[in-house]
């Protein structure tokens, strides 16, 4: 309860007369806990690295409508430092019928991403690139290749006269 002084007039003098006013006051009570509370541990962010490999008919390094996918090519992803030392875990996959590849659940870091081609394909983009995985959920990298024209030589037979 809170008291509020109220002035009461008397002849020539004023005196304070307290008046009770009902006011609730909240008081926090601290209770010690006998067991520690669980603190959530953040889950490390994992990313996906994906993309496509295609036949770059106009050799411009960009996938255009009508340029066919390249299926069945090997794609590798490995930590960049380990790649230069020849150590570390290498992730491998193969492009599907649409030329797509995907690596899921990749930890943050710097990686070397590359495509293994069979004979007859030349790159129009980098065939291997460094990819930095940070807090990004998805990183997409495409690779273009073209088939150079085949030149055939036929023997020339000359007749003696």
The pLDDT assigned to 139 comes to 87
Q: Are 113 and 95 in contact (CB under 8 A)?
A: no
Of the options 2.60.40.10, 3.90.1640.30, 3.90.420.10, 1.20.140.90, the CATH number for the domain spanning 47-146: 2.60.40.10
Other C-beta atoms within 10 Å of 102: how many? Answer: 14
The pLDDT assigned to 40 comes to 72
Q: What is the DSSP string of the chain?
A: -EEEEEEEEETTEEEEEEEEE------------SSPPP-PPPPPP-EEEEEEEEE-TT-SSS--TTPPB--S-EEEEEEHHHHHHT-S--EEEE--TTSEEEEEEEPSEEEEEEEE--TT-EESS-SEEEEEESS-SEEE--EEEE-PPP-----------
The pLDDT assigned to 99 comes to 97
The pLDDT assigned to 83 comes to 57
| Sign (positive or negative) of CA dihedral 32, 33, 34, 39 | negative
In order along its 161 residues, the chain shows pLDDT tens digits of: 555 555 555 555 545 555 565 666 666 666 666 666 666 766 666 789 999 999 999 999 999 999 999 999 999 999 988 756 766 678 899 999 999 999 998 888 889 999 998 788 999 999 899 998 886 678 899 999 998 887 777 676 777 76
């Amino acid at each position: 309860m809170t008291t509020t002084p109220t002035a009461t007039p008397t002849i020539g003098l004023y005196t304070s007369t307290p008046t009770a006013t009902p006011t609730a006051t909240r008081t926090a009570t601290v209770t010690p806990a006998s067991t520690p509370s669980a603190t959530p541990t953040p889950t490390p962010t994992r990313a996906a690295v994906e993309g496509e490999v295609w036949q770059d008919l106009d050799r411009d390094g960009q996938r255009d409508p009508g340029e066919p996918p390249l299926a069945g090519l090997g794609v590798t992803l490995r930590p960049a430092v380990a790649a230069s030392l020849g150590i570390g875990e290498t992730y491998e996959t193969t492009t599907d019928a649409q030329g797509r590849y995907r690596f899921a659940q990749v930890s943050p870091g710097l990686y070397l991403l590359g495509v293994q081609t069979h004979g007859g394909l030349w790159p129009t983009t980098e065939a291997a690139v460094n990819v930095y995985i940070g807090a990004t959920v998805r990183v997409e990298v495409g690779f273009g290749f073209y088939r150079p024209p085949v030149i055939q030589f036929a023997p020339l037979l000359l007749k003696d006269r």
